[in-house]
Amino acid sequence: MYGLFLKNIAKHIQLNPFEEKQLKEKLHFKTISKNEILLKAGDYCKSIYFVNKGCLRIYQNHQNGEETNILFCPENWWSCDIISFSTGSTASYSIDALENGEVIYIEHHDLENLYIEIPKLERFFRILFQNGFALYQNRLTLALSMSAELRYSLFQKQYPMLMNRISQKHIASYLGITAVFLSIIKKRHVSS
C-alpha cells in the first residue's frame, strides 16, 4: 500500500525502520471515486495528498462558471493548495479526482509533529515544495510567452500518460484554449 509513497520519499532522504514506522502511523489511505472532491475552494487545506493510483487535478472556479485547470497530479505526484496548507488560510483552489484511484495523505498538524520527530522529513518536503514552485514558475512562463501549439507539445512531453486518460476539455482548460482549438491543434500534430 505504501510502496510507491516510500520510493518517492527515498529519492531524497533515507528513513530507518523506526522512522518509517513513525511516518506510517500518521498516514491515511483513501480510495477515491472519479469526480470526488478532496478540497473545495474556500475550505481549509488540512492535508497533502500523494497520488498512489489515478489522477487528481487542481483547478480554480470562476464566477462565470468556467474552470481553469492549474495542475494534473497523476501517480507518484503530490497535491494540495500549498498556500492554504502552509498558512491555514482558505483555499483558492479545488482538488478533485479525474479517475477512480487511491491517495495517501497526511494532515498538516501530524506533518508538523513529524518534522520535530524526524527532522529529515523537513528536508524532503522543502525539496518537494521547491520543485513544485519551479513547476508553477515554468507553467506561468509558458502561459504568458508561448503559443498554444508549443504549450500542447510540452504538455504531451510532461504528461504523456494522461493524453488518453483525461478529457479534452480538461486538457484545453489547462492549456488556456477552447476544446475546439485543441482539436485543431491535435489534427495538425497528427498530420505533421
Length of the chain: 192
Residue 19 has pLDDT above 90, yes or no: yes
pLDDT tens for each residue of 56-93: 999 999 888 889 999 999 999 999 999 999 999 999 99
**97 with 51: CB under 8 angstroms?**
no
Poorest-pLDDT segment among 10-24, 78-92, 164-178: 164-178
* Cα separation, 58 vs 86, whole angstroms: 16
Q: Does residue 141 or residue 149 have the better pLDDT?
A: 149
For 59, phi then psi, to 5°, come to -145, 165
Half-sphere exposure of residue 73: CA atoms within 13 angstroms, side-chain side:
25
Kindly state the percentage of the chain with pLDDT values over 70: 98
